[in-house]
Amino acid sequence: MKKSYYLFNPGRLSRKDNTLQFTPVDEQGKEGPCRYIPVETVSDLYVFGNLDANSAMYNFLGKNGISAHFFDYYEHYTGSFFAKDYLLAGKMQVEQTRHYTLRNKRMVLAQKFVEGAAFNMLKNLRYYNNREKDLAQIISQIEGYATQISATSEVAELMGIEGNIRQTYYAAFDTIVSGFTMVNRSKRPPLNEVNVLISFGNMMCYSVCMDMIYHTQLNPTISFLHEPGTRRYSLALDLAEIFKPVLVDRTIFRVLNKKEIQPNDFMTDINGCVLKESGKKVFVKAFEERLKETIKHRTLSKSVSYKHLVKLECYKLSKHILNIEEYKPFKIWW
């Protein structure tokens, strides 16, 4: 199985002897001992530090089908380098667009995304409710909202419900996480520690979804729940809805409750809060472990990793679009 590589240290990545070479550079500009990365084992690169690279390296990445995702100082996602599309399918493109333009077809998919997301969020809450955290009220409130999903006829209306669900869900974070308070969801910039982790995690989840979509024939720009905009892979946002509770929120609860991330892993900036490199590393490591974790798949009757689940979701979506099998959103079944 190919691995993701995470680049935190500033340095230079270059093509050398048909593989990748990474030379770390410290603050004084002094080069450290270089390390070779076996190119055959790389699935993608997540670049958090400053990276020096030239086009020969990118050409090489492109040839090997490796994508690189970039993040800025505030760990916002800034963009990706993708190898040339290698799975082109006109039929899929046409059908996907048709599912977007026909309102009833679009609503079916959009509702399923919200339904899956709500189900997975409830699953998280119930888990903690059984562990002496009183969340009964929040659970019943979300269940109430979830029943309204199927009655919606407009995407805007559905997004409203989705917003309500998420707001109620985030209100439970203060009960679940000990030692930190979240108060309200704040973005751009996130104002406190829990919000920083949510933003950071969501962005990681978004990149994973995007990468998986890239390896299927789906067009990442045509989405159903989110409005397809410009310069955005909005289909990844749709998919991320379902997986955020499973991948991101569980990881956040873990790192905070097990005290793997401490208050001194954060830095309070002039306006907002950022995760220090030490914190980033811990979180990414936990997230990576989460992605690698395997579960026994019921219908496939074999072990699959969480990361592969995202890809399976893309396959299910393709099948729905091509009218082979109706799409059922991923719901945690254990």
Partner 1 sequence: MYVVVVYDIGELRVARMLKLCRKYLNWIQNSVFEGEITEVKLKEMLSKAREIMDLDYDSIIIFKSREHKWLDKQIVGVARSQIDNFL
3-state SS, residue 151: helix
The helix or strand, by DSSP H or E, that contains position 286, with its residue range, turns out to be: helix 277-292
Which stretch, 238-246, 284-292, 309-317, 321-329, contacts partner 1 (CB under 8 A)? Answer: 284-292
Instruction: Check residue 10 and give left, alpha or beta (phi > 0: left; psi -120 to 50: alpha).
Output: beta
Among 14, 24, 58, 254, binds partner 1 (CB under 8 A): 24
Q: Which two tokens stand for residue 94?
A: 């046409």
Q: Does 284 bind partner 1 (CB under 8 A)?
A: yes
Confirm or deny that 226 is annotated as ligand binding: yes
Confirm or deny that 297 is annotated as ligand binding: no
Which stretch, 12-20, 151-159, 164-172, 209-217, contacts partner 1 (CB under 8 A)? Answer: 12-20
Q: How near is the Cβ of 189 to partner 1 at its closest, in Å?
A: 25
Among 332, 74, 296, 65, which Cα is nearest to 188's? 74
Cis peptide preceding 24, ω within 30 of 0: no
Site track 28-67 with partner 1 (rule: CB under 8 A), x = hit: -------xxxxxxx--------------------------
CB contact set of 274 (below 8 Å; sequence gap of 6+)? 73, 74, 75, 189, 196, 266, 267
Q: How near is the Cβ of 277 to partner 1 at its closest, in Å?
A: 11
Residue whose pair of structure tokens reads 């989840």 in the numeric block: 205
Q: Does 81 bind partner 1 (CB under 8 A)?
A: no
Among 12, 123, 285, 331, binds partner 1 (CB under 8 A): 285
Confirm or deny that 31 is annotated as ligand binding: no
- Residues from 136 through 195 that contact partner 1 (CB under 8 A): none
Q: Does 301 bind partner 1 (CB under 8 A)?
A: no
Angle, helices 250-257 vs 277-292, to 10°: value is: 130
- ∠ Cα 246 252 240 (to 5°): 40
Q: How near is the Cβ of 284 to partner 1 at its closest, in Å?
A: 7
Q: Does 5 bind partner 1 (CB under 8 A)?
A: yes
Rounded-to-integer distance, Cα 311 and Cα 239, Å: 10
Query: CB-wise, 21 or 186, nearer to partner 1?
Result: 21
Contacts to partner 1 by CB under 8 A: 1, 3-9, 11, 17-19, 22, 24, 35-41, 281, 284-285, 288
